[in-house]
Amino acid sequence: MHTFEFIRPPDPAAAIAAAAQSKTAQQGADVRFMGGGTTLIDLMKLNVETPNRVLDINRLPFDKIEPMADGGLKIGATVRNSDLAYHAEVQRNYSVLSQALLQGASAQIRNMATVGGNLLQRTRCVYFRDTAMPCNKREPGSGCPAITGHNRTLAILGASDHCIATNPSDMCVAMAALEATVHIQGPKGTRSVAFGDFHLLPGNTPQRETVLEPGDLITHVTLPPPVSGSKQLYLKLRDRASYEFALASTAVVLTIAGGNIRSARIALGGVGTKPWRSPEAEAALTGKPANDATFRQAGEAAMQNAKAQTENRFKIELAKRCLTHALRTAAAS
Ligand SMILES: Cc1cc2nc3c(=O)[nH]c(=O)nc-3n(C[C@H](O)[C@H](O)[C@H](O)COP(=O)(O)OP(=O)(O)OC[C@H]3O[C@@H](n4cnc5c(N)ncnc54)[C@H](O)[C@@H]3O)c2cc1C
Ligand code: SF4
């Protein structure tokens, strides 16, 4: 691992001023924030990330989970994944988020990993993690060997000719379905970004994964007031039962009245280049009877724009079944 300077900024302003000296935004930048370090240090050991300065943000005042006046929830950026998953209000009213967090990584990693870091965790594409290989995301313009190579775990939604990498987060799938908002403090002040707008599609610039600019620090995430009477479920399908990333997953937030679906918020994981909200599935569900035929139609709708690569065609049917089964289970709960 290359040498770097380790700094503990005393307050957010000092952290932002230091990070703003970087030429690029957080991912790939030469000055980096560090939450739990479970992505960053991992990639530094592989020489995939080579920052000159690492700013430990764990002493900054972002470690609280607090109720908001409107009935929503404010979650600090350095809150640990475990603390969020076991928080009473999250388990009671945002259970899809708790379920998603508890199906990610291992207990030890969840005890370290922070909300801010989870939002910015990087793809598990094998070429991205191997500096002997070209990769447009790691080295823009070098090529994408995954398109003709090992792509079994990679994306079927949102890919481009330059990158087909999957976003690996479970937490983010639940946050997409819960319509979270990401709050950012940067050199130009504070701003809030709707969850669906925070991550970017790869397009021609796969190295740019979010809307963050140099110096931008995620301070917290907010959840809107809970959807009253909603049935919530996170279903994750993977190669083994624990300590594995999703091949396909789904977060479902449903309300049902008189046997009909009143509202549906659906997001998918393991299949998209970003946490994937599915308006197509939501439209196929809303106002329809809560039965198997409707649930399967939602699965078909969610996959209508899916494009398989050489090794991952199975994911299209897998994702349809994942969503169908999650809807059936949630509706019956
Ligand atoms: C073996 C293993 C298995 C895993 N399995 C899963 C899994 O099944 N599902 C899953 O979802 N995840 C999984 N993960 C990923 C894990 O969830 C992430 O590594 C973790 O959430 C990252 O959080 P962190 O705080 O450690 O991030 P860090 O490593 O500290 O940071 C990650 C990135 O975010 C930036 N950053 C951190 N905080 C901020 C902030 N507040 N503002 C701006 N930038 C910030 C850093 O600069 C860095 O670029 C796994 C990880 C490992 C190592
Ligand atoms: S899919 Fe993306 S991350 Fe993987 S090799 Fe291609 S450019 Fe790199």
**Which residue's alpha carbon is at the smallest distance from atom 47 of ligand 1?**
33
Residue 162 CA: which ligand is closest? 2
Residue 93 within a domain: no
Q: Which residues contact 141 (CB under 8 A, 6 or more apart)?
A: none
Query: Does the pLDDT of residue 265 top 80, yes or no?
Result: yes
Domain that holds residue 302: 231-331
Half-sphere exposure of 181 (CA within 13 A, CB side): 13
C-alpha 113/C-alpha 88 separation (Å) is 19
Domain total of the chain: 1
Q: From edge to edge, which strands make up the β-sheet containing 231-237?
A: 231-237, 248-257, 260-269, 276-277
Residue 205 CA: which ligand is closest? 2
C-alpha 227/C-alpha 225 separation (Å) is 7
Percent of the chain past pLDDT 90, that is, above it, reads: 92
CA angle 175, 122, 321 (to 5 degrees): 55
Q: Which residues contact 224 (CB under 8 A, 6 or more apart)?
A: 70, 72, 178, 179, 180, 181
C-alpha 211/C-alpha 8 separation (Å) is 25
pLDDT band at 19 (very low <50, low <70, confident <90, very high): confident
C-alpha 124/C-alpha 104 separation (Å) is 14
Residue 309 within a domain: yes
Top mutation candidate among 8, 38, 185 for ligand 1, by most atoms within 8 Å of CB: 38
**Which residue's alpha carbon is at the smallest distance from atom 37 of ligand 1?**
117
Residue 293 within a domain: yes
Residue 281 within a domain: yes
> What's residue 27's pLDDT?
60
Distance between Cα 81 and ligand 1 center (Å)? 10
- The single-letter code of the amino acid at 290 is A
pLDDT band at 25 (very low <50, low <70, confident <90, very high): low
Task: Give me the CATH number covering residue 291.
Answer: 3.30.390.50
| Distance, first Cα to last Cα, the chain | 49
Residue 81 within a domain: no
From the list 236, 247, 257, 252, the residue with the least C-alpha distance to 295 is 252
C-alpha 54/C-alpha 2 separation (Å) is 12
Residue 223 within a domain: no
Residue 249 within a domain: yes
> What's residue 297's pLDDT?
98
Residue 313 within a domain: yes
The pTM of the full predicted model, rounded to 2 decimals, is 0.98
